[in-house]
């Protein structure tokens, strides 16, 4: 029984192949007639033709697979084509008469393209994409892999010609045209890397040239990037286009009087429409060097820097030199330096490297990354001296002394002048904020006294500092100090030492302060500090619960300039942030570091009082639109929420903790 069924399936499959070969020939003829203008099919007609063709493929595929399966005494007709493209198949779901039916296409349809026309192949590809169950990116990659396998399975009349025909036909697929074009071209490009020769490159190149010319004329609707890719992947040169154009002239086709002029006009259209990268790609591909300096300047003005650099590299050293000068004039020193380095132009531009390094040091200094800036200087005396001047301008006088001592620098005639200029800057100081004392807390008695004083305050300012870590991907350093400011005093807690010496007392004291409903705690972007504290001292309970916490940053929509900018807006003077990224783990801290840390906490109280004091309206506040600060008070109770969740899992009751309101 099985043997006779196998014989019948094999016979039916052979007959279906013969019939389908004739049908595919009709399809190819129809496409040729359509594109040559002899017959004009509607798009609907093409889709009907393709749909019928695909059903024929299903029949042939089914017979072949049944034949193979029956030989192994296996009777399933087809294997499932998953859209994950596991080596076997692709799952297609087609809706017919309001019912979702799963269609299964044998892998044979994609691996044996002897009788499969490009248009049918594209239709199957579209069905795989439309009905696939993965995200678009994964589907694209999976289909790209499938198309690559198809090209390795000898499509007729050859892989290169097959791809060229596919690109010719794709516009009738509408919105799928651009994506599928990129897919097929990228798969073909990958195929060419591994294939020694396609065997049909000459024929394919002629078809690709005709396709490109049709795209240029507008008779075929393809994206401009596809046109460029066609030139690249089929290696079409100006001589190839002239050859095809000469054949058209022999047929009295007057479209190509001058191929070069024809292409230049096409490229000029991209320049006019500001598609500079496409224009540059085409000019470089055809080795057209007519556009000059004005074209380069235009690209720079439009911020098309990648296109400008590619064009200048193609044009050679004079254009590269002009590009470097333009970059230096526009303060794009890094880009200028990279071009100089890449093209070995150090002798022509000896100062670009130094200017770039100085610019990099200045940006790091503005971010208060002094240690990184010093490392970037790499011992270069000229750069170190420049860093000293930057520290002087920033008022970071201990950094000036540190650098001068380390590198034996002497004789800075402008040092006093820089210091005088700095003193004229209007930065806030502790006296203006009414702070009478900065108290360093690193032992048990001091911690107890600080706790008693803070518990008697109604409002305190909180801030933290830690040593910056510039190693990419590494964990941040532990929080080194915590500043707690009252109206007149600022306590600076040495968290590292207290945690090592008296962790239980530290936990108890800070728990009383941070969870007290009677003390309003002020912070600025304190969410970052809370996260860092929890990571640094995860076994302490005090940093897992905050009550009556007000983040000043949330009260203002415009957070530009950070706390320093807000202080200038509300109090009329900014903060000196040059020591923000200094070494907070060194002991003892310098006096300037202590003052910097105290200011960050104390200024929060003054900003809060100014905002809440209705008798003193700052310029930045609208007298008729007072900030309702009470609505911004929040409680942060991660550990309690976690314990309630755990208690629900254990089915143990847990009393609810309510947030306190101001």
Give pLDDT tens digits for 82-125. 333 333 333 433 333 333 333 333 344 455 566 677 888 888 88
pLDDT of residue 607: 92
CA 341 to chain centre: 26
pLDDT of residue 303: 92
User: Is the confidence at residue 658, as pLDDT, over 80?
Assistant: no
pLDDT of residue 645: 42
20/24 Cα distance (integer angstroms): 6
Other beta carbons within 10 Å of 501: 14
Least confident of 59-73, 131-145, 528-542: 59-73
Which is higher by pLDDT, 128 or 529?
A: 529
383/368 Cα distance (integer angstroms): 17
> For the purposes of burial, counting CB atoms within 10 Å of the CB of 324, is it exposed (0-12), middle (13-18) or buried (19 or more)?
buried
- Indicate the pLDDT class of residue 479, thresholds 50, 70 and 90: very high
Residue where the block lists tokens 């907070």: 584
For residue 436, the SS3 value is coil
For residue 472, the SS3 value is coil
Mean pLDDT of the chain: 76
34/40 Cα distance (integer angstroms): 5
Give pLDDT tens digits for 551-606. 988 888 766 778 888 888 888 888 888 788 888 999 999 888 999 999 999 999 99
User: Is the confidence at residue 481, as pLDDT, over 90?
Assistant: yes
Least confident of 52-56, 118-122, 323-327: 52-56
452/473 Cα distance (integer angstroms): 41
The two structure tokens encoding residue 338: 């990279």
CA 450 to chain centre: 47
pLDDT of residue 114: 62
Q: Within 13 A of 387's CA, how many CA atoms are on the CB side?
A: 33
pLDDT of residue 450: 96
**Total H helices, total E strands in the chain:** 28, 9
78/62 Cα distance (integer angstroms): 6
Nearest-5° angle of CA 10, CA 13, CA 15? 110
- Indicate the pLDDT class of residue 397, thresholds 50, 70 and 90: confident
User: Is the confidence at residue 247, as pLDDT, over 60?
Assistant: yes
Q: State the virtual CA torsion across 559, 603, 549, 469 in degrees, nearest 10.
A: 70
Mean of pLDDT values over 452-464: 95
> Over the range 532-563, which residues count as b (16 or more CB within 10 Å of their CB) and which as e?
bbeebbeebebbbbbbbbbbbebbbeeeeeeb
349/347 Cα distance (integer angstroms): 6
127/121 Cα distance (integer angstroms): 10
H or E segment and range at residue 520: strand 520-523
586/464 Cα distance (integer angstroms): 15
Percent of all residues in the chain with a pLDDT value above 70, rounded to a whole number: 71
- The answer to whether the CB of 451 falls within 8 A of the CB of 439 is no
Least confident of 262-266, 280-284, 391-395, 445-449: 391-395
pLDDT of residue 196: 65
pLDDT of residue 510: 95
pLDDT of residue 502: 95
User: Is the confidence at residue 333, as pLDDT, over 80?
Assistant: yes
CA 429 to chain centre: 41
Phi, psi values for residue 327, rounded to 5°: -65, -45
Residue where the block lists tokens 């897919």: 183
CA 366 to chain centre: 25
- 99-105 and 546-551: which strand pairing? unpaired
Q: State the virtual CA torsion across 74, 80, 86, 88 in degrees, nearest 10.
A: 50
User: Is the confidence at residue 461, as pLDDT, over 50?
Assistant: yes
Which is higher by pLDDT, 620 or 582?
A: 582
> Three-class SS string for 85-96?
CCCCCEEEEEEE
- pTM of the complete model: 0.56
- The answer to whether the CB of 91 falls within 8 A of the CB of 81 is yes
pLDDT of residue 136: 80
> For the purposes of burial, counting CB atoms within 10 Å of the CB of 644, is it exposed (0-12), middle (13-18) or buried (19 or more)?
middle
Alpha helices (H) along 343-474:
350-366, 370-377, 381-394, 397-407, 415-423, 444-455
């Amino acid at each position: 029984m099985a043997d006779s069924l196998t014989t019948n399936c094999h016979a039916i499959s052979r007959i279906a192949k013969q019939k389908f070969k004739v049908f595919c020939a009709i399809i190819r003829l129809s496409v040729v007639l359509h594109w040559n203008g002899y017959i004009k099919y509607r798009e609907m007609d093409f889709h009907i033709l393709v749909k019928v063709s695909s059903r024929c493929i299903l029949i042939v595929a089914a017979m072949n697979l049944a034949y193979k399966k029956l030989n192994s005494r296996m009777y399933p007709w087809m294997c499932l084509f998953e859209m994950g493209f596991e080596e076997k198949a692709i799952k297609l779901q087609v809706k017919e008469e309001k019912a979702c039916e799963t269609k299964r296409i044998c892998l044979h349809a994609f691996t044996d393209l002897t009788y499969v026309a490009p248009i049918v192949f594209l239709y199957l590809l579209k069905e795989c994409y439309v009905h696939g169950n993965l995200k678009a990116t994964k589907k694209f990659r999976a289909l790209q892999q499938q198309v690559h396998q198809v090209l390795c399975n000898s499509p007729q009349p050859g892989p290169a010609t097959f791809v060229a025909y596919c690109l010719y036909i794709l516009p009738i697929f509408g919105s799928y045209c651009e994506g599928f074009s990129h897919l097929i071209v990228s798969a073909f490009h990958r195929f060419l890397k591994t294939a020694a020769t396609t065997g049909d490159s000459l024929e394919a190149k002629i078809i690709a040239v005709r396709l490109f010319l049709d795209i240029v004329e507008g008779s075929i609707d393809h994206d401009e990037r596809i046109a460029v890719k066609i030139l690249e992947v089929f290696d079409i040169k100006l001589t190839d286009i002239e050859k095809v154009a000469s054949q058209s002239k022999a047929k009295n086709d007057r479209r190509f009087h001058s191929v070069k002029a024809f292409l230049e006009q096409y490229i000029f259209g991209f320049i006019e429409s500001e598609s500079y990268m496409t224009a540059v790609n085409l000019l470089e591909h055809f080795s057209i060097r007519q556009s000059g300096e004005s074209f380069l300047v235009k690209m720079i003005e439009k911020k098309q820097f990648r296109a400008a650099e590619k064009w200048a590299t193609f044009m050679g050293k004079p254009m590269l030199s002009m590009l470097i000068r333009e970059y230096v004039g526009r303060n794009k020193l890094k880009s200028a330096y990279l071009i100089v380095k890449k093209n070995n132009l150090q002798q022509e531009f000896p100062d670009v490297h130094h200017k770039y390094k100085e610019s990099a040091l200045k940006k790091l200094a503005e971010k208060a990354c002094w240690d990184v800036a010093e490392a970037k200087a790499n011992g270069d005396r000229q750069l170190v001296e420049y860093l000293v001047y930057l520290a002087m301008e920033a008022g970071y006088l201990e950094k000036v002394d540190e650098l001068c001592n380390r590198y034996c620098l002497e004789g800075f005639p402008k040092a006093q002048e820089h210091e005088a200029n700095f003193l004229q800057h209007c930065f806030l100081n502790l006296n203006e904020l009414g702070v009478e004392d900065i108290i360093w807390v690193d032992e048990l008695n001091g911690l107890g006294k600080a706790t008693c004083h803070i518990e008697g305050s109604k409002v305190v300012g909180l801030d933290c500092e830690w040593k910056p870590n510039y190693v990419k991907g590494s964990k941040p350093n532990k929080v080194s100090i915590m500043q707690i400011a009252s109206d007149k005093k600022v306590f600076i807690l040495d968290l590292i030492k207290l945690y090592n010496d008296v962790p239980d007392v530290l936990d108890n004291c800070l728990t009383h302060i941070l969870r007290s409903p009677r003390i309003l705690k002020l912070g600025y972007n304190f969410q970052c500090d809370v996260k860092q504290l929890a990571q640094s001292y995860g076994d302490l309970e005090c940093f897992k619960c905050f009550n009556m916490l007000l983040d000043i940053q949330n009260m203002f929509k415009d957070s530009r300039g950070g706390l320093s900018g807000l202080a200038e807006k509300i109090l009329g003077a900014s903060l000196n942030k040059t020591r923000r990224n200094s070494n907070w783990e060194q002991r003892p801290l310098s006096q300037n570091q202590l003052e910097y840390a105290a200011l960050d906490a104390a200024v929060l109280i003054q900003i809060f009082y100014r905002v809440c004091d209705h008798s003193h309206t700052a310029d930045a506040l609208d007298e008729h639109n007072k900030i309702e600060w009470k609505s911004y008070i929040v409680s942060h109770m991660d550990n309690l929420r976690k314990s309630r969740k755990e208690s629900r899992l254990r089915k143990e009751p847990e009393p609810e903790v309510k947030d306190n309101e101001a």
